[in-house]
Structure 1
């Protein structure tokens, strides 16, 4: 049996393909059961996120490459795709490379954003779901354990995730240098897209409890505000709320600036010149550049944040080198565990075979004793027959080894049987 990984990710396939092979929660159990029914598949788990769909499987068969092809066929067929249209985007790994890939994914080394932490939680969900669907066996269960151990060490012992590399996180991290206590500030978020949503989550995690979300579509603002326990307002209400904000983060798709110098200056007067920290993530800008001329305003644009991100990415890349070395050691640890299974299986088979011989001889001896045969003679015959049967196969091996002058095998047999 071998371990294989097959799938698509953001490096191999465009979003149009990734969308078509994604597994929603409603079909995930059906997919696991269907996959386990495929010829040669003994264990399986499916990881499906916006950036990747990957199948982890333990397969067996005389032609393992045929089973891998069958997996690709199954993935295409399950999503009503032709294999020809999917095949150019598929990656395939087996054995060492498959194990390494899984550990790299969980550690954030294979992510679109190097070192991002969300993927580890997604891999844990994958493991939890496959466990519930009962599609994991001894090999994948152990591989997931080793993978989580490797990812934890990478997170703990390297700087892979310590420095922000998303615009939203960089904005929040920059605010940390200005505000000593996030719980005491009010944040105004302008927009309700993915970047603002991510910024809101980071701010809440930092302890911000007072947030105002302004958006052109108030309903969208209300949806995000409900999730963040914030207040939702329309864009035209900004002049009434701007003075309340200690921090402003703006990211809309507006073609013209939303906050002008005059509006900000008026807000500063209402605040009695208490400083404001403003981050304009939008392109084109949401905040007029002239706002930077005002005292008591700290205005940063996406270009300012990009410099921070590039520095942090460089730091993460250095940490990634160390992380790759750690993963290499964990791959070898898992392979050592798997090799130990060969010895365990051999021992079990060896014992089972000899116990069957013992039971057969014991049954025959008991029958003779019940018929009144001489006990000494019965026991002597049983001992001789057992000795001959136990030594038959090793004797044949020794004779063949001697005939072929295979002295290494003879030495190994002497060690196995403790012959001095």
Structure 2
């Protein structure tokens, strides 16, 4: 048996090619079934995301990487040169290490991102449903899940914010130790604000308000996060209620001015307010930062946090790599032991066959009236000769070749020189 990974990702292929090589949920089961019929493929898992498509295969002695590559090319009707130039492959222990690195987010576009682990688990479950997992890949993927958990537990790979949305919420957590008691006003309803809302929901903030130019988009967001909605014109009325304001719109001019914030602070009886402006051009007038009870941060401030956190993740990635090498070696020890299990089984089968053959001959001799002592002596002699024949030949050949290493291995295996 051998392990193979064949794939493309954001480092090797364009978005256009990744789209063509992707396996959507509607075609993945059929693809797995077809892949399992490829010569030499014993087990298979297909991991397909927006940034990568990878085939994980366990091959028998007939299996070859070229056969798997040809299947992928044929399935997606791809030009051979176009695919081959972007394709990478890993075998054996490098295949094991690669899966573990992917599961831990070390091979992702955003270092340490956790979403990939969920996507790998989905691929694993899909393979289970199709029946393309048996023993080796199942154990490898389970091992990778435990490695990812260990890396998250023992390192800071996922602790630092490396997206603007996450950084904005992390900043709020620094200033308000308990976000569960805060009220948040989100200005805008685009993708970034949606991500901010998702992170805030995970922090169990007490209240989320969403202000947007069009109410329809804000209402879609509000339904998912149980938020209140308002128009941009209503912001002055609700601003005094907000402990945190996070704004990201496409407005060419500021939406929140110094005077608006000053009035809100007075209404709040000078209770501090945090404003995070992640829009370009800015949504909040920079003069707001002049107010004593207003704390204004811009996208540039967040970028500094992100860069610091990326460095922290890189340091954590070094720790993660060491964990992965340790876990890879453990898995490979188990994988290599499978070969010895087969050899032991075959050796026992062979020895039992010799025993049964000679025992049958001895019983037949006894039934014909042969002397029992003579028969038992003949049984012992013939059984011994047959069992030591092959090892004796190996010892003799190693002696002729002067191969001291083989002689030492045979001596240890046969228990020679051990008193």
For normalisation by structure 1, the TM-score amounts to: 0.89
**1:87 paired residue number:** 84
| 1:329 partner SS | helix
Q: CA deviation at 1:61?
A: 4.1
**2:238 paired residue number:** 241
| 1:135 partner SS | coil
**Is 1:289 aligned to 2:283, yes or no?**
no
Q: CA deviation at 1:126?
A: 2.8
Q: CA deviation at 1:166?
A: 1.2
Say whether the 8 Å CA contact 1:106–1:147 is kept in structure 2: yes
**1:153 paired residue number:** 150
> Larger deviation: 233-242 or 15-24?
233-242
Specify every segment of 5 or more residues in structure 2 that has no aligned partner in the other structure, as ranges. Answer: none
What is the CA–CA distance in structure 2 between the aligned matches of 1:374 and 1:61, rounded to whole Å?
49
Q: CA deviation at 1:218?
A: 3.4
Q: CA deviation at 1:89?
A: 2.1
CA separation of 1:260 and 1:9: change in aligned 2, threshold 3 A: same
Specify every segment of 5 or more residues in structure 1 that has no aligned partner in the other structure, as ranges. Answer: none
What is the CA–CA distance in structure 2 between the aligned matches of 1:214 and 1:14, rounded to whole Å?
37
CA separation of 1:315 and 1:405: change in aligned 2, threshold 3 A: closer
**1:140 paired residue number:** 137
What is the CA–CA distance in structure 2 between the aligned matches of 1:375 and 1:208, rounded to whole Å?
94
**Is 1:190 aligned to 2:194, yes or no?**
no
The Cα offsets for residues 110-166 of structure 1, whole Å up to 9 and x where unpaired, read as 121212222223223333332333222332223223323332332222222222111
What is the CA–CA distance in structure 2 between the aligned matches of 1:300 and 1:21, rounded to whole Å?
42
The Cα offsets for residues 44-83 of structure 1, whole Å up to 9 and x where unpaired, read as 2121222222111122446x6xx32332232233233333
CA separation of 1:238 and 1:227: change in aligned 2, threshold 3 A: same
**2:345 paired residue number:** 348
> Larger deviation: 26-35 or 219-228?
219-228
**Is 1:101 aligned to 2:98, yes or no?**
yes
Q: CA deviation at 1:286?
A: 2.1
Q: CA deviation at 1:176?
A: 1.5
CA separation of 1:341 and 1:273: change in aligned 2, threshold 3 A: same
Q: CA deviation at 1:292?
A: 2.8
CA separation of 1:210 and 1:410: change in aligned 2, threshold 3 A: same
The Cα offsets for residues 190-210 of structure 1, whole Å up to 9 and x where unpaired, read as 223322222112111112131
Say whether the 8 Å CA contact 1:278–1:300 is kept in structure 2: yes
**Is 1:318 aligned to 2:324, yes or no?**
no
What is the CA–CA distance in structure 2 between the aligned matches of 1:352 and 1:252, rounded to whole Å?
74
**2:202 paired residue number:** 205
What is the CA–CA distance in structure 2 between the aligned matches of 1:269 and 1:336, rounded to whole Å?
68
| 1:58 partner SS | strand
1:382-401 alignment runs, 5 A limit:
382-401=379-398
**1:41 paired residue number:** 41
**Is 1:417 aligned to 2:385, yes or no?**
no
CA separation of 1:152 and 1:188: change in aligned 2, threshold 3 A: same
User: RMSD across aligned C-alpha pairs, in angstroms?
Assistant: 2.6
| 1:355 partner SS | helix
CA separation of 1:7 and 1:254: change in aligned 2, threshold 3 A: farther
2:336 pairs, out of 322, 334, 339, with 339
What is the CA–CA distance in structure 1 between the aligned matches of 2:7 and 2:139, rounded to whole Å?
21
1:256-335 alignment runs, 5 A limit:
256-335=253-332
What is the CA–CA distance in structure 2 between the aligned matches of 1:273 and 1:323, rounded to whole Å?
46
What is the CA–CA distance in structure 1 between the aligned matches of 2:78 and 2:283, rounded to whole Å?
43
What is the CA–CA distance in structure 2 between the aligned matches of 1:227 and 1:99, rounded to whole Å?
39
Say whether the 8 Å CA contact 1:243–1:268 is kept in structure 2: yes
**2:8 paired residue number:** 8
What is the CA–CA distance in structure 2 between the aligned matches of 1:175 and 1:191, rounded to whole Å?
18
**2:17 paired residue number:** 17
